[in-house]
């Protein structure tokens, strides 16, 4: 993946998403109905009662087997779709989530956020754009906090393992890991502040939308929001994680 396409939605992603939207359900109906249809046709064309009864029983048995096979295939495809969407969201978030990408992160929105966004899009498109941008900031900050929390646990375990080594001087290693921990704690603190700011802006926009502001008031509020609107690129965090991984590789190679 090139730098220009890293974190960007590609046409093939949209095609796969559209395919995965329908294929689980189509697979269920196809696998359920395809096996009994030929037997049902033979049943309708049977000349004798005995052969008709046999084909009818076979078609019913084939329908039962097809339903089970279709259900299994549908469940597997739904699980794959869920996993694929998760990887796609990770890809889109790698350089920070934008307002245009919020629709792909619907599962990570709260039910209230989804409802408010839907209502604002209907009543005030300008505020809806601001709400989407603020949601993008909220999602990015939330992801950074989650990732930094996970990495902090890993760094803590590495520090404990380094201190437990007997017969080797691990002072430099512990110092480097402690520095990594401090950087992650700083990143987590900053992301927490940005998360709180984003949540506050969401409330401001929601309140403004409920007051049905005019065009002039809406433009003024949007300018104020834009002055403080900042995205937290997840690539910053990823760069730090890659630096830590490189340090760990160097330590292991020594």
Tell me: do 72 and 163 sit in the same domain.
Answer: no
Instruction: Give yes or no: residues 88 and 106 share one domain.
Output: no
pLDDT of residue 61: 86
- Indicate whether 114 and 146 sit together in one domain: yes
Given 93, 121, 149, which residue is the final one in a domain?
A: 93
Amino acid 128: pLDDT: 85
Nearest to 201 by CA among 157, 152, 250, 136: 136
How confident is the model at residue 245, as a pLDDT? 53
Contact of 114 with 106, CB cutoff 8 Å? yes
Q: Do 128 and 178 share a domain, yes or no?
A: yes
Where in the sequence is the domain holding 112, given as residue range(s)? 95-254
Question: What is the per-residue pLDDT for 3?
Answer: 46
Reduce the DSSP state of residue 20 to 3 states and report it: helix
73-105 as b/e: b if 16+ CB within 10 A: bbeebbeebeeebeebbebbbbbbbbbebbebb
Q: Which of 78, 199, 74 has the alpha carbon at shortest distance from 135? A: 199
Query: In sequence order, which residues have a C-beta less than 8 Å from that of residue 221 and are 6 or more positions away?
Result: 127, 130, 204, 205, 208, 213
Structural domain count, the chain: 2
Cβ proximity of 116 and 199 under 8 Å: no
CA 93/CA 136 separation, integer angstroms: 10
Last residue of a domain, one of 65, 93, 121: 93
Judgement on whether residues 157 and 242 belong to the same structural domain of the protein: yes
Q: Which of 60, 67, 39 is nearest to 51 (CA)?
A: 39
Q: Assess whether 159 and 237 both reside in one domain.
A: yes
Same domain (yes/no): 120, 131: yes
Q: What pTM was estimated for this model as a whole?
A: 0.71
- The answer on 226 and 148 residing in a single domain is yes
Tell whether 3 and 129 lie within a shared domain. Answer: no
- As given in the structure block, the two tokens for residue 100 are 């245009």
Tens of each residue's pLDDT in the chain, 254 residues: 444 456 678 888 889 989 999 999 999 988 888 888 887 787 777 777 777 788 778 888 888 888 899 999 999 999 999 999 999 998 888 888 888 889 899 999 999 999 989 988 888 787 888 899 899 999 999 998 988 899 999 989 988 988 888 878 788 888 888 888 888 888 888 888 889 988 988 988 888 777 655 555 555 555 655 555 544 444 445 555 555 555 554 555 45
Within this chain, do residues 191 and 238 fall inside the same structural domain, yes or no? yes
Other Cβ atoms within 10 Å of 34 Cβ, number = 13
Residues 52 and 80 in one domain: yes
User: Among 26, 124, 35, 140, which Cα is nearest to 73's?
Assistant: 26
84 in the same domain as 8: yes
For residue 239 the two structure tokens come to 């760069």
Of 59, 93, 127, the last residue of a domain is 93
């Amino acid at each position: 993946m090139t730098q220009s396409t890293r974190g960007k939605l590609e046409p093939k992603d949209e095609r796969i998403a559209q395919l995965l939207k329908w294929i689980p359900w189509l697979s269920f109906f196809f696998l359920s109905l395809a096996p009994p249809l030929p037997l049902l046709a033979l049943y309708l064309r049977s000349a004798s009662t005995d052969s008709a009864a046999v084909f009818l029983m076979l078609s019913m048995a084939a329908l039962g087997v097809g339903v089970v096979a279709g259900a299994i295939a549908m469940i597997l495809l739904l699980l794959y779709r869920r996993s694929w969407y998760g990887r796609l969201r990770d890809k889109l978030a790698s350089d920070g989530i934008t307002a245009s990408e919020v629709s792909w992160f619907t599962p990570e929105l709260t039910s209230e956020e989804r409802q408010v966004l839907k209502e604002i899009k209907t009543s005030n498109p300008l505020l809806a754009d601001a709400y989407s941008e603020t949601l993008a900031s909220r999602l990015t900050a939330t992801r950074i906090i989650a990732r930094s929390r996970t990495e902090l646990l890993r760094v803590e375990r590495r520090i404990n393992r380094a201190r437990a080594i007997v017969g080797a001087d691990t002072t430099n290693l512990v110092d480097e890991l402690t520095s990594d921990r401090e950087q992650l704690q700083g990143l987590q603190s900053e992301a927490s502040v940005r998360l709180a700011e984003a949540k506050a802006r969401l409330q401001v926009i929601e309140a403004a939308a409920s007051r049905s502001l005019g065009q002039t008031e809406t433009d003024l509020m949007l300018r104020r929001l834009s002055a403080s609107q900042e995205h937290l690129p997840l690539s910053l965090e990823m760069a730090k994680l890659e630096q830590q991984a490189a340090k760990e590789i160097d330590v292991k190679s020594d």
